[in-house]
Amino acid sequence: MAEPITFVVDSGGVLRLAPRRSEHVVCAGGGEVLSAGEMSFREESGRWVVEEVSNQSTGYCPDVSSWLAVAEALDQIGIHHPSGFTHELVFRRCRSCRELNIVRDENFVCVFCGEDLPQEWNAGELG
């Protein structure tokens, strides 16, 4: 498997790719996105297919529900893909201390202050 690359799906539904060490916000040209993360490809029968894909982007912190935008963008260009993110990150912002958290093992508790985190995505709220 090749090293993953950075991707965003821009507000127009277009898939944009950049080297892995690129920031997602730069890849998106500073604009809003429908999804963002990392993706790796492999060649299969002379065609490129997505091998792994995640929503790992601390610049945008996309919700796992953003998968639909990724699937639609890949379908538009005829790239076969998994049925969902192969690695999902759950981002939540603490309503008490405003810090961004990655929820692990469905433990919705802020690692910074110990307060409960919301069940619904709110990582896009300003800190």
Q: What local confidence, expressed as pLDDT, does residue 125 receive?
A: 78
Task: State mean pLDDT over 74-95.
Answer: 97
Q: Are residues 69 and 101 in the same domain?
A: no
Q: Do residues 50 and 97 both lie within one domain? A: no
Reported pTM: 0.92
Tokens 């065609």 belong to residue: 47
Same domain, 72 and 14: yes
Q: What phi and psi, each to the nearest 5 degrees, are found at residue 119?
A: -75, -30
Same structural domain for residues 68 and 96? Answer: no
Give me the number of domains the chain comprises.
2
Do 101 and 72 share a domain, yes or no? no
In a domain, 84, yes or no: no
Same domain, 39 and 66: yes
Residues with Cβ within 8 Å of residue 5, at least 6 apart in sequence: 17, 18, 19, 20, 38, 39, 40, 41
Residue 81 lies in a domain: no
DSSP assignments along 74-117, one per residue? HHHTT-B--SS-SB--EEEE-TTT--EEEE-TT--B-TTT-PBP
Residue 86 within any structural domain of the chain: no
- Over residues 11-41, the pLDDT tens digits come to 999 999 999 889 999 999 999 999 999 999 9
